[in-house]
Structure 1
Amino acid sequence: MVCSNTADEDQPQVIGASQPVVAVLGCDVVLPCHVEPCLDVEELTVEWWRPDVPPDPEDPQSNYRYVHCYHDKQHEENMKKPAYAGRTEMFTDGLKHGNISLKINNVEQSDQGRYRCQIPQLGSASVIMLLVEPCSVTPTDPGDLQTPEPTDETDAKGGRLYLSVLILGLFACVLLIPAVGVGGYLLHRRYRNQNQN
């Protein structure tokens, strides 16, 4: 697909993932983002930053640092927040197709939160939510498996189950007793009518 080099017809928009992106702690993740309609953005600036992360008082430049910045056909490593140094990359070959997705390597718990991707020349941005889940550890020794102690939560779930069964039983009784009564009355009446005839 060949993309336009200019943004003159329909104003291109930065479009990010509409649902949160889930990453596993210690793994790599891609925050999907693209320009629509397709636009070659190799000549433009792409900025990824964290709108909900406060400035670092130890770093006077922290207000001006990005998670990742692509500017003048270069990935600006010196403009990155130290926590992301060497851990982020964009798909350079995809820029000509409007792909401005960001890859974060070796995801940390502190990476969780909102990310804003913007192209200043287009006046367009998108916010993507990243959720970080812990790695699931599978024990290798069966002796490592332990039965968890009961907690208030499991007791509460058991209590809710018992209550649900009790309510269902009462509901069935409330419906069943009148049904049996009506059925019995109709049978008795039919039997009486037959005997009279």
Structure 2
Amino acid sequence: MPLHVPPAPAPALRSVLTALGSPTAVHEARTPSLRAAQGPASPEMPLPVHVLDRITPTGASATRLAGWRFLIRAGNRAVAAAETMLTPDGWAFSRFFEGPYIAATELALAQAEAMKQPYQPRLLSVPELYMLTLWLHGDCAADGATGHPAATDLLVPLAPAPPGIAAHRPHRVAELLPVLTLRVTPAPLLGSPA
């Protein structure tokens, strides 16, 4: 198995298990698939969610850990996801959600499983582009909560991807980061007309 999933913090997992066990939390979730799920639902595939806050002119990236995302499986498929966030009191359940990124994450993880090289899966969000990628980190022993994308790591844009960026096509960070840099860099202001 080429994917080495980093362990989620125990309090983050406990908070998701508690929310799943709470009829109120599940009922109030705006996830019809989770409410309609037959049988027990379980959190799987914990992925640290990193946010790309900025890309410097030299192409270096500044990322931060925003939380942990768990796919919620009922039966043989993921029906929703649960997110946790770090609070002053520690890891806490944030929300359940569903949408296109659930299936896209499953597809990207299946693609990564088929690769020959081992990777540590993470998620990398690029808020300025409304973009989410599966970040395949080459150092499988690294702490999933820390670090920055290495030039040789892979980024797999999840569908829906921004226009002009192919979803589910793995890109080396060194190849995709310059494209993202151009997209998030504001265009220079031209002089006013005379």
The higher-RCO structure (CA 8 Å, 6+ apart) is 1
* Structure with higher helix content: 1
Q: Larger Rg: 1 or 2?
A: 1
- TM-score, normalisation: structure 2: 0.24
* Structure with higher strand content: 2
